[in-house]
A and B are shown apart, each in its own frame.
Chain A
Amino acid sequence: MVEWLAALRRLARESPTLAVGGGTLLLIAALGLVAPWIAPHDPLAIAPTNSLEPASATHLLGTDQLGRDLFSRILVGTRISILVGAAVAALATIGGLAIGLLAGFVRVLDGPLMRVMDGVMSIPGVLFAIALMAVFRASVETVVIALAIVEIPRVVRLVRSVVLTLRELPFVEGAIVSGATTFGIVRRHILPNTLAPLIVQATYIAASAIIIEAALSFLGAGTPPEVPSWGNIMASGRAFFLIAPMLVLMPGVVLTLTVLAINLVGDGLRDRLDPKLRAALK
């Protein structure tokens, strides 16, 4: 216990960004996890005759135009955002890793794969995600898939460049010459060296996914609107911005805070992992 605390204190001293970001993120994630049990009201229960009530003891942040409790909705929305962020990061990283390795090791596939990635990357992200969502039926799963597709090319580029750099290094070349299997090389040399930049990239993808999910929902093309995600809460409140601006501002501020925490974690990790990565590449 004491050792544990000491480790924490050391982390806070050595990498304050990581500590602050990580702490905030953990808190938000924990709140999201227990949200259904601590939310004071059913986030979905409508009461049309109690619409747009101001903040009060019963409704901490007031109610929306259909009489739903804003505080409970934002609280429960935390789960969706965290879930989407984590799932997209995982999916995009795994998918990107697979394609990136393929491109890096199979010469014939490199050209075509990378051209496809270039093509996909040249479609502006939100536009592409909107277009994808127009094809899928709206659900949390399809949002995750759509965002992963948008994010994969970045991972592919990263992995491929690492592979190409590593291939030229003496110890990898040696392994290739000595007849090691591709799988063995990937497992022993490539993966360990790709891991650090991948983790950093994954945090940025999570942050970006949370923003794009919110943007999609805000535009009405994201998670199904009955799911109280932050973007959906903002979307349903936007028509009332001139009368009740908090319907839009509150979920927005919480969203920003979450993304900020994740980005701080990413920056902190990058700064800590970078030296190792550089050493590996030297």
Chain B
Amino acid sequence: MMRPSFLRRALAATALAAIGIAAIGVAAMPAAQAQSVLKVLIDGNVTTVDPVVTTESMAIQHGFMVYDQLFALDAQSRPQPQMVASYERSADGLKWRFVLRDGLKFHDGSPVEAKDVVPSLRRGAARKASGAALFRHVEAVEAIDARSFELRLSRPFGPVLEMMADPLNALFVMRAADASTDPARPLTTSIGSGPFRFVQEGWKPGDRAVYVKNPDYVPRAEPPSAMAGGKVVKVDRVEFSHIPDATTSAQALMSGEVDVLVFPQLALMQVLERAPGVEVQMLNPIGEQGILRVNHLVPPFNNPKARQALLYLLGNQTDHLAAIVRLPKLQKPCWAVFGCGTPLENTAGIGDWAKGTDVEKAKALLREAGYDGRPIVIIDPPSNDRIHAMSLVTAQKLRQAGVTVDVQAMDIGAWASRRNERGDPKTTPNGWHIFHTHGKMISQGDPLANSAAVATCDGKNWVGWPCDEDLQKQLEAYAFVAPEGRAAWVQSYQARFFQALPYVPVGQFLLPTASRAVVSGLLPVQGYPVMWNVQKR
């Protein structure tokens, strides 16, 4: 007898609870609609909220929501103060003093002080290439008072501000307690002083990350310019999520389920451009740099003449670029090592190969290099359509120059492993001559961050192992070149670069961003798109 009544009561309670929940839901709905919510599809899921421990693009995008930088790059890629109000540099370039601006506050209400900045820089330096490059020459960094800190260098390292403004390897400012965490251990909470607050409860690692406008944030007075200037937030809430499939992502944007698709697949560009209510923009004016890398240890490419032959085969780069991105407006032929549209753009050392492919000249150079007709092994991961396209174009051009080519296809994993093999393909079964890849131009354009340019002769540099002592000496010298000396530096470096040729730049290509037409104010940036200044009508 007890049981049915108990059951009935339980059922009744459940039903009541359900009605209650539904009622709350209905009541909450109008409120939710009144807010402006920006739904953004990014390249992956936000699986870690610590932008220091990883270089994943998702964590960096998360970082720029929640945290703030001391300096930031403007549209001309010049570092501008962001959290810093003013700074002084001693005449010998060894002592730097920085003063934080007024009104900086962490999301928990505590003020941002110099004692937070110091450990933040140290933690960043333990994980980020930018911080590491800087701290190699840092003798001491210490807080002077609540708002100012001092940096003392052992050598007059030049690009101090550039390192603090790096948009990929960003040195974010965290609370002292967070910043004292072991740099290898990821933080699981995210309290910053940036323009958005992270909604910890809304974070589902496999699904979405949620941010709300930080009402206490005081933007700089300057108008926004790329990552620099005032970070004025114009929406109430931002949701980052990820759809692994390119087509599904594009469809979600076309149907209005999401507002911004940060990096749509290039094959879908035409579909998106034609779709009503969708806009495609080139937010990143410098994009990516294609890279053709040879194995410098084995013939024929251990001979600079053979490497130079590749320049004449690539010519004006349009065949490679057309194969990668197809649409002409996304192609940006550029022979400058550190990119076009970047501070170090210049024409030194660029020969007449840039006018167009010259097969005869390439043949002559290969002959001079003593090319003996051996098959040239190109390793190609076809699942990556950009690298695959470059591989096929290079193969065809080499064949036109009378070279025997062996394009070896493999999955991306085998490809990554194979690149570590140093041996001659003639005698080593896993050897290789050529592979292709690409890197973000903002990082390729920075002599301190461009791994492909490193030409140390110790064999410890990036796969391909170029060796040129003179070139490497010049590269290392960049760190101590004062800003006004950079133009002269790059002239000399680039002239030598094209003789030694550690890698062959394949040109630049742009990765557009797509958004709903109702979204405006996406800022042109050289790194990842940022969500301040963005409006939704």
Contacts and interface: CB of A to CB of B under 8 A. Distances in A.
A66 B392 contact: yes
A66 B267 contact: no
A134 B411 contact: yes
Contacts of A235: 382
A197 interface: no
Contacts of B319: 48-49
A45 B265 CA distance: 25
A224 B377 CA distance: 14
Interface in A27-75: 44-46, 48-49, 51-52, 65-66
Nearest to A66: B323
Nearest to A42: B396
B392 A49 contact: no
Contacts of A224: 407-409
B251 to A, nearest CB: 9
Given A48-B323, A51-B322, A138-B410, A226 B271 contact: no
A226 B407 contact: yes
Interface string B373-390: 000000010110100110
Given A49-B322, A224-B409, A243 B270 contact: yes
A138 B409 contact: yes
Contact of B382 (A46, A49, A225): A225
A51 B270 CA distance: 13
A242 interface: yes
- Scoring B271, B319, B409 by chain A CB atoms within 10 A of each residue's CB, the highest score goes to B409
B271 A242 contact: yes
Contacts, number: 62
A65 B326 contact: yes
Given A65-B326, A66-B323, A242-B268, A46 B408 contact: no
A224 B414 CA distance: 13
Interface string A219-260: 011001110000000011001111100000000000000000
Given A48-B389, A66-B392, A226-B392, A221 B322 contact: no
A46 B271 contact: no
A137 interface: yes
A242 B267 CA distance: 9
Contacts of B392: 46, 66, 226
A52 B266 CA distance: 14
Given A46-B393, A48-B393, A226-B392, A239 B265 contact: yes
Contacts of B389: 48, 66
Contact of A239 (B246, B380, B407, B414): B246
A239 B267 contact: yes
Contacts of A220: 382-383, 411
Nearest to B270: A243
B318 interface: yes
B247 A242 contact: yes
B247 A46 contact: no
Contacts of B326: 48, 51-52, 65
A172 B322 CA distance: 70
B511 to A, nearest CB: 15
A243 B267 contact: yes
A156 B320 CA distance: 50
Given A46-B323, A46-B396, A239-B265, A137 B383 contact: no
Contact of A137 (B247, B395, B410): B410
A225 B411 CA distance: 11
Nearest to B430: A137
Contacts of B270: 243
Interface in A104-162: 134, 137-138
Contacts of B265: 239
Given A49-B318, A49-B322, A66-B392, A225 B409 contact: yes
A260 B510 CA distance: 45
A77 to B, nearest CB: 16
A36 B526 CA distance: 48
B407 A65 contact: no
22 contacts: A46-B323, A46-B393, A48-B326, A48-B393, A49-B318, A49-B322, A51-B322, A52-B326, A65-B267, A66-B323, A138-B409, A220-B382, A221-B411, A224-B407, A225-B382, A225-B388, A235-B382, A236-B382, A239-B267, A239-B268, A242-B247, A242-B271
Interface of A: 44-46, 48-49, 51-52, 65-66, 134, 137-138, 220-221, 224-226, 235-236, 239-243
Given A51-B326, A226-B392, 4 more contacts: A137-B414, A224-B408, A242-B247, A242-B271
List the 7 closest A-B pairs by CB distance, nearest first. A48-B322, A239-B267, A225-B382, A48-B323, A224-B409, A220-B383, A242-B271
